[in-house]
Amino acid sequence: MKLRKSLLLGTAFLAGVAALPASGLITRALGPSLGIPPALAQDAGAGNADTYRLLSLFGDVFERVKADYVDPVSSKTLVYNALNGMLSGLDPHSDYMDPNQYNDMQVQTRGAFGGLGLEVTEDQGFIKVVTPIDGTPASKAGIKPGDLIVALDGKTVEGLSLNDAVNRMRGAPGSQITLTIKRENVNNPIVVTLTREVIHVQIVHQNLFGNVGYIRLAEFDETASSGIRKAVESLRDQAHGHISGYILDLRNNPGGLLDQAVAVANDFMTQGEIVSTRGRHADDDQRWDATPGQDIIGQAPLVVLVNDGTASAAEIVSGALQDNRRAIILGTRTFGKGSVQTVIPLPGDNGAIRLTTARYYTPSGRSIQGLGIMPDVKVDETATAEPSFGPEHESDLNNTLSNTGGVPATAGPPPRTDLPPIVKEIPSKPPAGWPAYDPDKPSTDFQLQQALKLVQAIAAQNTATTR
C-alpha cells in the first residue's frame, strides 16, 4: 500500500539538522507536569511565557489521559498522536511519520514497497483510491480510481487516520485482506479479497502510435528521469529513428521528488528557468535552470496530457514546459498543489516529519497553489462531468496554504501565439456516441486521440515550414 501524500513533492532528506531533540524540549518546558526534576524545567523567559503556558497545558492533558483513559495507553502512542495532530493541522501535506512509516516512505521513493499497489488519499472519513498501479493485486482485482474503501476485513475505516488505514492494508507478502468498496453508480458494496505482494513499481510506460512516441509517467520517484530516457531510446529503436513527435502523459500523476521534477523538465528543455522555490527564510530560496543542449528528443513536437489528478511535481514539469513554450498542455485544470515538503529525520530513530517549507513558482512567476495549471487546449475526458465524492483540487481541501508571493493570479504567461491552426478544430468534449473508456483500448481515450492529432499537425506544419 502506498500513501499518496508521502510523495506529492519532497526534497532531499536533511541529515544532521541542528534542532533540540523532542525529549529535551519536553524536559525543559513540561518538567513540572511530567514529574521531571524542577532543576531541568527552567522558565523559558518572559518573551516565551505564552509558549511555556501552552506547553504546560499539553503536559496537563498528557498526564490526565495517562491517568484516567479507559485503557492503559503508552507515552509513545500519546506523543506520536500529538505530533501527527500538530503537523496535520497546519496543511494537508505536513505530517509526522513514525519509524516504520518513515522507512516505508524511503522504500517507496526507491520504487519498491510491499502491499496492494494502491495510491490513496483521505476523503471525508473514508479512503479514496487515487489510482491502482498497473500489474499489482489492486489493478488485477479491478479496483478503479475514485473507489471509496469503506471497510477493511469487515471493520469500518471511519475514525481511522489515513496513516492507520494504510498500515492496516500493508502486511507480509502472501497474506490476505478484504476490502469493502463503494463505487459511484453501483448500489451494492463491492467486496474483494486481495493477496499482498512486494510491489515493484514500473513508473514509465511507452508505446508507439504510428510515428508518435507516447510516454506515460505514473509518478516521480528516484527512477523518473532515467526511465524517461530509456523510454525515448526504446521508442527510437522501435520506430527506426522516424518519430515525428511525442506525448508525455502526466494524468493522475500525484507527484514525487522535486529533484526528479527538475530532471524530467530538463530532459525536454535546452534553456530557461524550470522552477523556483521561496520559503520563510530568503537564504533558502532556490532556482533551477535547464542545462543548455539537454533536450533528449531534439526539439521534436511535444504535447503534455494533464487532468485534475496531475499534482505537485507533475505540475512543475507542466508549468515549466508551458511557460517556456516547449510543449502544448492538453486536458483539464490540474490539481493545484504548489508547495514543497522537506522530510526531516528526527534524532534517536524517532521517525521523521514531513514539513511544508516553501511554495514553488513557475518560470513566469506564477504560484499554482490552489489554482493549478490551465491547459493550452482544454479537452475533457468525458462528454458530461462525472460526479465525485471528494476533493478534485487542492482548493477543496481543509487548511490549504494561501496563494501568495507570485505574480497576480490573473497574470502568468502571455497568451500563446504559437498554437497550430488545428487547435481550433479540436473539440472540448467527446462527441455523442464516443465509446466508454477502456484502458486496454487507446482508441477510446478521447484526450489521447486529440493529443495524437495535435502532435501530427505540429509535425506536418514544421515539415512544411522547412521545405
Check if the beta carbon of residue 376 is closer than 8 Å to that of residue 115.
no
Instruction: Specify whether 323 is catalytic.
Output: yes
Instruction: Specify whether 441 is catalytic.
Output: no
Domains of the chain in start order, with CATH, are: 112-200 (2.30.42.10), 204-466 (3.90.226.10)
pLDDT of residue 43: 45
Rounded to an integer, what distance in angstroms lies between the CA atom of residue 370 and that of residue 395? 5
Mean pLDDT of the chain: 83
Percent of the chain past pLDDT 70, that is, above it, reads: 83
Instruction: Specify whether 164 is catalytic.
Output: no
pLDDT-derived band at 387 (thresholds 50, 70, 90) equals low
Lowest mean pLDDT among 44-48, 97-101, 423-427: 44-48
Q: Which of 95, 249, 267, 323 is catalytic?
A: 323
Per-residue pLDDT of 181-197, as tens digits, reads 999 889 999 999 999 99
Rounded to an integer, what distance in angstroms lies between the CA atom of residue 290 and that of residue 88? 34
Phi, psi dihedral angles at 400 (to 5 degrees): -75, 150
pLDDT-derived band at 13 (thresholds 50, 70, 90) equals very low
Q: Which of 94, 312, 339, 367 is catalytic?
A: 312
Average pLDDT over residues 27-36: 38
Supply angle C-alpha 113, 139, 337, rounded to 5.
Answer: 65
Name the grid cell of 341. 515538503
Per-residue pLDDT of 94-127, as tens digits, reads 889 888 888 877 766 665 566 898 888 877 778 9
Rounded to an integer, what distance in angstroms lies between the CA atom of residue 35 and that of residue 316? 50
Residue 359: strand, helix, or coil: strand
Per-residue pLDDT of 242-253, as tens digits, reads 999 999 999 989
Q: Does residue 11 carry a pLDDT above 50?
A: no
Phi, psi dihedral angles at 224 (to 5 degrees): -60, -55
Q: Does residue 44 carry a pLDDT above 80?
A: no
Q: Which of 337, 367, 376, 445 is catalytic?
A: 337
In angstroms, the Cα distances linking 146 to 85, 250, 305 are 26, 17, 19
In angstroms, the Cα distances linking 222 to 12, 90, 129, 254, 274 are 11, 28, 23, 14, 18
In angstroms, the Cα distances linking 182 to 126, 144, 147, 323, 411 are 10, 11, 6, 40, 41
